Amino acid sequence: MRTLLAVSGGIDSMCMADMYGRAGGDFAIAHCNFHLRGADSDADAQFVEEWARAHGVRFFRADFDTASYASEHGISIEMAARELRYAWFAQIAAEHGFDAVAVAHNANDNAETLILNLLRGTGLRGITGMSPDSPLYPKVEPGTVTSFGHFPKVEHENTTSFGKIPKDDGVRLVRPLLGMTREDIEEYAREHGVAYREDRTNAENEAQRNRIRNLVFPEFAKVNPSFVRTLNSDMEHFAQAGAIAEDYFREAESQILSEDGTIDVDKLLGFKHWKYLLFRLAEPLGFSEKTLDTAVALIEEHAEGRAGTFSGKRFYSPTHVMETSAAGITLRKRTEDIQEDSLTVNGPGTYTFRGRTVRIEVLDGLAGVSLKQPAGTLICDASSLPFPFTLRGWCAGDWMRPFGMGGRAKKLSDLFTDNKLSLSDKESAVVVDSPAIDRDHDGHVAAVAGLRMDEALRVAEGSERILRITIL
């Protein structure tokens, strides 16, 4: 099997390269320079290239402006690096006939991912762990842009700039070190004299994964010194449970979906675990948990005869719309004619926007009004946010001066990261926009409903009216 090894220069990937070299397999080296650590990034690239040259191994290199890419697409640096490298690996494999791409994830990485996914709320599929062998990318037709990356234009050795993946359904993503703990790998490096580069940022705790690794895992080890192997074993059991749930879903799917893709609500409700079935149908299309909770409440009211009108309700994800009708529930891709770009709020009331229900209330004076802001509620001075104002989705350049931060400006993308919002939650976020906030600076927004508001909206002691914005 011809294998392309993803080698960063760190201990894990260098041990993997050493193992492949000793086994005498047919492999090449691929290195990504993300240009995030200045001279250290360049030194890593040079180190890996010299190793490949010394061992007579073919070497591929890509240079990415990762920070600009992350900013352009409104995503984290970590996600940007992931999209960039896997898109490039796929292109190299397709163009040069590699059967597999090998990455050096180990048992500790797997355990870290489990904890992160538990905290993010990714559901059963997010806690089954990494697979030692899986498809590198989805099946595609010739010239089709696949969904796992944005495919930026990149210049690199022996390949052309990419944006489309040729049809090749057989390339695998393998993780040969998944059964080894970090301690196992360190022992292997000592025994075989493996040279590697130290990434100094691994000791810093700004990144979520580093905080788990450096602060949380040492506490776990005090409770169970073998916790990494225990968590990996648990993930195998979760994967088995996931397979059973998948079989249940597939069997039910054939019964509740009509030929045109409409969900028969009566048949759906005939299943004991109908909420799970709805989640499995809708979650892969980007619908957030909050949006699905609203849809579930509507279905429950319909089942109990309490829903005033079931038909004609729409719930939105960044890419799809869920629409109710007399025939059932339809899931389909969004088109421009149903795209909700913005909604004008002319006064108090309950509004539906992008599948979210937003209640706007105006209260007279401060008497009897608690200024505590529970989750999902913003309380501000009504005079600072006069009607009409606008509800819209967020844009990459949006920013505010969050109340309580001393007037410091903060991009909404950073605010979302700080609050650990998932991609679907970010895309369904409801931004409150008003020219009364700042006419001189583009992108200065009033609030993100249910999350944070700009300091300009703060309630002063003499405020005569209070505006309360609640995400239901």
How is residue 210 written in tokens? 């580093």
Spell out the residues 6+ positions from residue 67 whose beta carbon is closer than 8 angstroms to its own. 35, 36, 77, 80
The torsion region of residue 368 among left (phi > 0), alpha (psi -120 to 50) and beta comes to left
What is the fold, at CATH topology level, of the domain defined by 342-471? Phenylalanyl-tRNA Synthetase; Chain B, domain 3 (3.50.40)
| Furthest CA-CA distance within the chain | 79
How is residue 403 written in tokens? 């109340």
User: Please, what's the b/e burial string for 379-396 (b: 16 or more CB within 10 A of its CB; e: otherwise)?
Assistant: bbbbebbeeebbbbbbee
Break the chain down into helix, strand, coil percent, rounded to 5: 40, 20, 40
What is the fold, at CATH topology level, of the domain defined by 3-223? Rossmann fold (3.40.50)
In contact, 72 and 79? CB cutoff 8 Å: no
Whole-model pTM: value is 0.62
Three-class secondary structure of residue 174 per DSSP: strand
**pLDDT tens digits, the chain, 472 residues: what are they?**
899 999 999 999 999 999 999 998 899 999 999 999 899 999 999 999 999 999 999 999 999 999 888 877 767 788 889 889 999 999 999 899 999 999 999 999 999 999 988 887 777 778 888 999 988 865 433 333 333 333 333 333 333 233 344 444 478 999 999 999 999 999 999 999 999 999 888 878 777 888 999 999 999 999 999 999 999 999 999 999 989 999 999 999 999 998 777 999 999 999 999 999 999 998 888 787 778 888 898 899 888 887 567 887 878 777 788 888 888 999 888 764 444 567 888 888 888 787 678 889 888 766 556 667 777 889 888 888 988 888 988 887 889 999 888 888 899 988 888 888 766 677 778 999 988 887 667 788 999 998 899 998 888 777 778 898 988 7
Say how far apart CA 391 and CA 406 lie, in whole Å: 26
Q: Where are the domains of the chain?
A: 3-223, 264-336, 342-471
H-state helical runs in 97-181:
107-120
Say how far apart CA 326 and CA 308 lie, in whole Å: 13
